Structure 1
Amino acid sequence: MADKKPRYLQNNKDMAWSLIPLLLACLVIAAIAGQCSLRVGGPEAGEVPRIDLGASLQADANALAFPVRSPDVPDQWIPNSANRGPVSGSEFQSSTVGFVTENGNFLSLSQSDASEDELVRSRTEGSRVSAGGAEAIAGLNWVVYGNDDTEPYWVADLGDTRAMLTGSGSQEEFVALASATATAPVLDKR
């Protein structure tokens, strides 16, 4: 007699018994590689990465042809991102920094020599937003753009530059960043 069952006599039970060693081998390899974890309570928020806000803005001030301001944000806010680059679709440049607020919201400040329309168009990425209001904060008039499907965009004319605020922050957090931007000193080139 044959040692093996004929193929037509094999069933799901036989298949399950042959897959168990394969699954165990995969789990052992994943555990050795450290790429597998199980957290019963769900994921935990990690530490927010920090950047040196002063150094980032100073580097932008040195490299860009327009004045760059350094806002004094609340101490509980964590500066966590910085970017310098072209405003899409134009020859203008921008300096953008981002903050995580004490409530876990994100706000960004972009400074650019682009016009208000070009700056809004580049940041909204084709979303149809329109000016829906205005805020007067610390001597600056901020035009508020947005719609129900997008986050708000606040834009102010600083003379040689435009500033844009956007993010998931609350009204109070937007006001705090707008005030800090309005009163921020322009950095000297080094």
Structure 2
Amino acid sequence: MEWKSIVSAVAPWIGTALGGPLGGMAVSAIADAFGLPDKTEAALKQALSGATPEQMLALKKADSEFAVRMQELGFQNVQALEKIAADDRASARTMQMTTSSRIPGALAILITVGFFGILLGMMSGMLKTSENQALLIMLGALGAAWGAVVNFYYGSSSDSQNKTRMLAQGSGAR
């Protein structure tokens, strides 16, 4: 199970915020709940893989506090945060359609080649992770970036759920 799915299951407010422009606040909330000085996705992934029940309870408490903060900022429910994330992706796609820039495509190719190249190098034994901790950090960063590339070009499960909900509302189904 991906670490973001674990967060979404335990802490829905924080999990939803991870996918949008409030992702930095969400990462910070998770790191604080786990007592991590390093507020990176790689550190969170590692912490979640060996989380204790007490840490998961701290994450749940952090989600409640995060929900209060988000409501103070005007987000009344998780769907409002999902809308921001979906609007953010839609805005990026619209910008790409209007500008026809080659940069997103080039970055997508570089990220994909980098991610799978490092992964292949590690699996074949050409790159030794025991000698280079930075390699694991780079793999984590490229893995997260590759997930963003896939979401940009193909959408995400959140987008799919919103589409299904809108179609159901439009057809009169409840």
Structure number having the greater helix percentage: 2
Q: TM-score scaled to structure 1, two decimals?
A: 0.23
Structure number having the greater strand percentage: 1
Q: TM-score scaled to structure 2, two decimals?
A: 0.25
When Rg is computed on C-alpha atoms for both structures, the one with the higher figure is 1
